[in-house]
A = this chain, B = another copy of it.
């Protein structure tokens, strides 16, 4: 739901940029005007201002507007700004070398889970995704780990506002079952997922605790079901725990979250 602040132009900018998605990466002026309920002259002036700053770009051939590379630059700086990613990356690379699967670092952000770093295995059959990808918080090992440590009112807000849509054959869509699962995750300190978000995929993830004791990110490993064994799952959990602990210590958490 759209937020309103005391700087209306910033609100409008967010509305404009949020119109662009994986499903619709390009808009004509008229389409966007209708989508946003803005007069074309107003929108046109706004879009050309964003173009001047490379926040948007307009393909002269089809006159369609797309997000610009300035956002990529800011996005990279955003991902780097806390230092978490920089610290986590070499540890993730070791995780990938050991598990031969893809490692993923995610954070919780506004009722969604966002990937801020990934190291992919070079195995041809693998889990692949992009930094900046966002996911529902109720499905997938990394997502469930992050949701498990949210305040109860935030969990309620997610269920109410995002819902628990069925994304794959094993997605948990019942709120009571999901809460049981989140309690189990807190108890055992890790999450496991099998075909909750993607057919043929499985993964495990553990929380990364920050200096104030809260969960700041999740680290997980994911791969295809064809390489799943229960033994590998247990090994991966232990490896993710160690990785999470090392990252916690490096970012200044007391005891690296192991109390």
Q: Which residues of A contact B (CB under 8 A)?
A: 3, 5-7, 9-11, 13-14, 17, 20-22, 25-26, 45-46, 48-50, 52-55, 61, 66-82, 93, 96-97, 107, 109-110, 114, 116, 122, 130-134, 212
Residue on B nearest A15 in the bound complex, by CB: B53
A134 contacts B73, CB within 8 Å? yes
A78 contacts B82, CB within 8 Å? no
Contacts A72-B75, A77-B22; is A66 near B82 (CB within 8 Å)?
yes
Report the separation of the CA atoms of residues A107 and B132 in the bound assembly, to the nearest whole angstrom.
19
The listed residue with most B CB atoms (<10 A of its CB), out of A52, A54, A76, A97, is A76
A49 contacts B133, CB within 8 Å? no
Report the separation of the CA atoms of residues A81 and B96 in the bound assembly, to the nearest whole angstrom.
29
A73 contacts B75, CB within 8 Å? yes
B21 contacts A77, CB within 8 Å? yes
Residues of B within 8 A of A9 (CB): 7, 9-10
Residues of B within 8 A of A93 (CB): 122
A77 contacts B132, CB within 8 Å? yes
Residues of B within 8 A of A96 (CB): 122
Contacts A7-B46, A61-B212, A97-B122; is A67 near B81 (CB within 8 Å)?
yes
Closest 7 CB pairs of A and B: A75-B75, A76-B132, A67-B78, A5-B49, A9-B9, A7-B49, A25-B81
